[in-house]
Chain A
Amino acid sequence: MKNIIIIITAVLILNTSSTFAQEYNWNSLKDNRKHLLHLTAGLENGIIFGVGYGYQLSSKIPIIIGGEYSLPAGKNLIDDLKTKIGGHIRLIKIHNFCLSAKVQGIYRRYENNLVRMDNFGTYVGGNVGFYSPKLFAALEFGFDKAIVTYFKHGNSYREIYQEAVNGWYQPATGGNYNYGIMAGYSFKKNDLYLRVGKLIAEDFKTDPFVPFYATIGYNYKIK
Chain B
Amino acid sequence: MWGVRSITRVDICIRFLTKINAMKIIMYFLLIAILFISISSCKEELLINDPGNLVPKTADLDPDIPSVEINGAILHRESFGHPDSTIVLVLHGGPGSDYRYLLRCKALTEYGYKVVFYDQRGTGLSQRFPYSIYNMQIMYDDLSGIIDHYKSHENQKIILLGHSWGAMLATAYINEYPEAIAGVILCEPGGLKWKDVEDYLYRSREIGFFSESLNDAVYMEQFITGKGDEHAILDYKFGLWAAAEEESPIGNEGPLPSWRGGAVTFNALFDTAEKNSPDWTTHLDKFDKEILFVYSESNKAYGSIHAQKVSSAYQKVTLFETKSAGHDMLTFEKGWNNTLPAIISYLNKIN
A residues adjacent to B (C-beta < 8 A) = 1, 3-4, 6-8, 10-11, 14-15, 18-19, 45-47, 57-61, 63, 65, 72-76, 80, 82, 86-87, 89, 103, 105, 108, 110, 112-115, 117, 119-122, 144-149, 151, 156, 159-161, 163-165, 167-176, 201-203, 205-206, 208-210
Select from chain B the residue with minimum beta-carbon distance to A1: B44
A206 and B219: CB pair below 8 A?
no
- Interface range for B: 35 or more
B residues adjacent to A (C-beta < 8 A) = 1, 3-4, 7, 21-22, 24-26, 28-29, 31-33, 35-36, 38-40, 42, 44-48, 52-56, 209-212, 214-228, 239-241, 243-244, 255, 257-260
Contacts A74-B216, A161-B55, A169-B48 known; 7 new A-B pairs at CB < 8 A: A1-B44, A11-B35, A59-B22, A89-B26, A147-B36, A169-B47, A173-B223
B21 and A57: CB pair below 8 A?
yes
A75 and B46: CB pair below 8 A?
no
CA gap between A164 and B3 in the complex, in Å: 29
Q: Which of A60, A75, A115, A170 contacts B40 (CB 8 A)?
A: A170
A167 and B46: CB pair below 8 A?
yes
A80 and B54: CB pair below 8 A?
no
CA gap between A210 and B241 in the complex, in Å: 13
Select from chain B the residue with minimum beta-carbon distance to A8: B39
Closest 6 CB pairs of A and B: A74-B212, A74-B215, A73-B210, A174-B225, A18-B28, A208-B221
Contacts of B38 in A (CB 8 A): 3, 7
B40 and A160: CB pair below 8 A?
no
Q: Which of A57, A75, A103, A163 contacts B32 (CB 8 A)?
A: A103
Q: Which of A15, A75, A161, A167 contacts B212 (CB 8 A)?
A: A75
Report the minimal beta-carbon distance from A68 to chain B, rounded to whole angstroms.
Answer: 15
Contacts of A7 in B (CB 8 A): 3-4, 7, 35, 38-39
Q: Which of A45, A47, A86, A172 contacts B210 (CB 8 A)?
A: A47
Select from chain A the residue with minimum beta-carbon distance to B4: A6
Select from chain B the residue with minimum beta-carbon distance to A58: B21
Q: A171-B40, A172-B40 are in contact. Are A19 and B228 (CB under 8 A)?
A: no
CA gap between A145 and B218 in the complex, in Å: 16
Q: A114-B243, A168-B46, A176-B222 are in contact. Are A4 and B39 (CB under 8 A)?
A: yes
A209 and B217: CB pair below 8 A?
yes
Select from chain B the residue with minimum beta-carbon distance to A174: B225
Report the minimal beta-carbon distance from B204 to chain A, rounded to whole angstroms.
Answer: 17
